[in-house]
A and B are shown apart, each in its own frame.
Chain A
Amino acid sequence: MNTLSPSPIKIMLVDDHPMVRDGLSACLSFYDDIAIVGACNDGTEVLQTAKQCLPDVILMDISMPNQNGLEATEIIKETFPDTKILIFSMHESSEFVKNAVQAGASGYILKDTDSEEVYQAIKTVAQGKSYFGSNIAQMLLASPTNPSNERLTAREQMILSHIATGQSSKAIAHTLDISVRTVEAHRRNIKSKLNIDNLAELVRYAIEQGLVNSA
């Protein structure tokens, strides 16, 4: 997609504060090549709303009452791998940025970013590139990620907990309303990250780490 494209970039806003959404909408309405097609309050509603409005870019808040934006990001990426997620948050730590990238986000900007920069960020991620706000980028440079420690994403951890309680991939797929193939993909990632290759070991690991209760 490029800036000269006749069809504007479809934007969905995910934020539990309607006032913030309204303020941002007001600012973005001055740009002709983007259109706000949907909005929702919480991570649990993201997938449903996205299915209706099929956005190109989702502006995602992190702190939300029920399910945070990072988990919601993973869930969107399972079903809509081509949809770009731009995190739009108040949180400034590099840990949030790392987690966002791990979850599949294409960019990370702070909520007090000027609307002009928000616009630029949207355009950049819509083109398939990454965008990090200027202060965020600095922070990432200052603390290079530690590649030795493979951590599970929130979604992977949830799926591991289901595996550990004895559910089959099919059952998990049904519970989480995703395809069996997606579950299997997660399962492979989990095994590879934890360096474990059989189910019994996986269950034992989950119990040992206190993810599920053995009792």
Chain B
Amino acid sequence: MPFSFRIQLFAVIQVILTALFTYIFVTNEYRDLSEQNVATLEAFLIEQKQQELKNYTEIAKASIQHIYAGAAKDDPVAQELVANILSTLIYDGHDGYFFVYDEYGTNIVLPTEPYRVGQNYWDLLNDKGEPTIQILIENAKNGGDFYRYPWNQPSTETITEKLSYSDFLPKWGWMMGTGVYLDNVQQQLISVQTAIDEHTDNTRFIILFVAMSSIFVIFTIGTILHFTQKKESDKQIDQLGQKIITLQEDEQRHISRELHDGIVQILVSIKYSLEATGKFLAHQNVEKPVPLIQAQTNLSNAITDIRRISHHLHPRILDELGLSDAMEALGKEFSERTNIAVTITKPALSKLLPDHINITLYRVVQESLMNIEKHAQATKTSIDLAIMDNWLTLTIRDNGIGMYEMNENEPSLHSGIGTRNLAERVKYHRGQFKLTSSRKGTTVVAKIPRSAFAHHYTQKQEPILAESI
């Protein structure tokens, strides 16, 4: 039992550790994976935006090319035309527009806020504390580059991260740029992050669920195993108990036989030797000495005592004549002692049973008669032994007061340790044991299947026959 509990505990710990490990591992993996994914996606989206911005810029440059190419270095008419064209290039709702500053930071084109045209923004700092226009001009002069910075988004009137590309018109010293707001990129990233998080949560839930159900299954199986094992070990204990009883009976039979067939016989021979001595002395006309007479008396007492002990240990009549006669002797002795009338019926055949079944049924009779004597207040008892319908059936009945308490509603049975042991012993020989009791008497029925002894008689006869031939 403690062993199975230890295994169970071990399994549960194993499951918990595995689940914990998987949980941590999966959480970490997912976090790494999601960070990686988001970064990759962001890079991809930004790259896409950059490409877009470059394309817009190319389109814008193409749309002013016919004027710019032929214009002089200082050509206000051409410059006016180009500024107008760039002002009208609006894409992506209101948020996609072109802006132009001269190389000193004075605004030339700003379609969303035309009132800023002509004002200088060279020193304007954005929320990151960087001079936005200076950086854009710098990028433009360096052959065109991208710049990310926080900026007011016209459509929402909020500060949003903006990605701008600026290019340079060297002839006029103009910085021309356009940008996109990255709010939808952020949103995309957030939704991807959310999806990954949901997935992670699902996985975590599955891990927890699997772990919990595993623990439940282990406990269930463990409990079932525990009970099966307990049942099994109980059965083994019962069998062991019966084995011990059987061994004990064997031992008792052995000692009884040694006493009866060994020591008593020696004493008997001594008795006859003493008698012979007496006769010899009589022939010599010598009177029997007193010590000899005493020795003979003591010897007779010793023989009687040892025979009584031997019989108490094991009734030899059971081995010599079989259960029927042993039972009858027991019943007769009981009847003489208690004045309870005993009737006995027995089969016409005898000595059909192996020793262990013999002694078991004998003990059933013995114990039952003892119970009757002690508790039943009976006047009549019957002991029936019969072989019918594949069963050897021993029935002991009395007309006493029964073993019930005098409570009609809830009759509780006083079946003592003795009776329980008898039941176990009978069952050990594949038999059945039943005790029924009412206020009109008690009936004990012990049954042994014929198959448990049918082989016994012929097997036992064979060696004797072999010797006698």
Contacts and interface: CB of A to CB of B under 8 A. Distances in A.
Interface of A: 16-17, 19-20, 22-24, 26-27, 29-30, 44, 47, 62-63, 66-68, 70, 90-96, 99, 111-112, 114-115, 142-143, 146, 149-152, 154, 157-158, 160-161, 165, 175-177, 193-194, 207-215
A214 B450 CA distance: 10
B468 interface: yes
A165 B316 CA distance: 30
Nearest to A116: B275
Nearest to B450: A210
B348 A152 contact: yes
Given A149-B346, A175-B465, A90 B269 contact: no
Contact of B387 (A24, A67, A210): A210
Contact of A143 (B332, B348, B349): B332
Interface of B: 260-261, 264-266, 268-273, 275-276, 279-280, 283, 300, 303, 307, 316-317, 320-321, 324-326, 328-329, 332, 336, 344-352, 387-388, 392, 450, 453-458, 461, 463-465, 467-469
Contacts of A19: 265-266, 269
A112 B303 contact: yes
A161 B268 contact: no
23 contacts: A17-B266, A19-B266, A23-B273, A24-B272, A27-B279, A30-B276, A47-B468, A70-B321, A90-B307, A91-B317, A95-B326, A95-B329, A96-B320, A99-B321, A112-B268, A112-B271, A149-B348, A151-B350, A157-B349, A208-B450, A210-B450, A211-B457, A212-B454
Given A93-B325, A213-B454, 9 more contacts: A44-B468, A63-B260, A96-B325, A157-B349, A157-B457, A210-B454, A210-B457, A212-B458, A213-B455
B348 A23 contact: no
A173 B88 CA distance: 139
- Tell me which of B268, B351, B456 has the highest count of chain A C-beta atoms within 10 A of its own C-beta: B268
A23 B303 CA distance: 16
Nearest to A21: B269
Contacts, number: 153
Nearest to B276: A26
Contacts of A30: 276, 279-280, 283
Consensus secondary structure, chain B interface: helix
A165 B455 CA distance: 12
Nearest to A15: B265
Nearest to A174: B469
Contact of A23 (B270, B329, B352): B270
Contacts of A152: 348-350
B387 A17 contact: no
B448 to A, nearest CB: 9
Contacts of B280: 30
A94 B458 CA distance: 27
Pairs of residues from A and B, 6 with the lowest C-beta to C-beta distance, nearest first: A23-B272, A19-B269, A26-B276, A95-B325, A23-B269, A17-B265
Nearest to B392: A210
Given A44-B468, A209-B387, A150 B348 contact: yes
A91 B316 contact: yes
A149 B270 CA distance: 41
B261 A194 contact: no
Given A44-B467, A90-B307, A112-B300, A62 B271 contact: no
Nearest to B456: A210
Nearest to A146: B344
Contact of A94 (B300, B303, B329): B329
A93 B329 contact: yes
- Tell me which of B280, B321, B325, B468 has the highest count of chain A C-beta atoms within 10 A of its own C-beta: B468
B258 to A, nearest CB: 12
A151 B272 contact: no
B328 A95 contact: yes
Contacts of A20: 265, 268-269, 272
Nearest to B352: A210
A209 B347 contact: yes
Nearest to B311: A92
Contacts of B324: 151
Given A19-B265, A27-B276, A112-B271, A62 B464 contact: no
A96 B270 CA distance: 25
Nearest to A16: B261
A161 B457 contact: yes
Contacts of B271: 23, 112
Contact of A66 (B392, B455, B464): B464
Contacts of B260: 63, 90
B261 A44 contact: no
- Tell me which of B272, B317, B324, B349 has the highest count of chain A C-beta atoms within 10 A of its own C-beta: B272
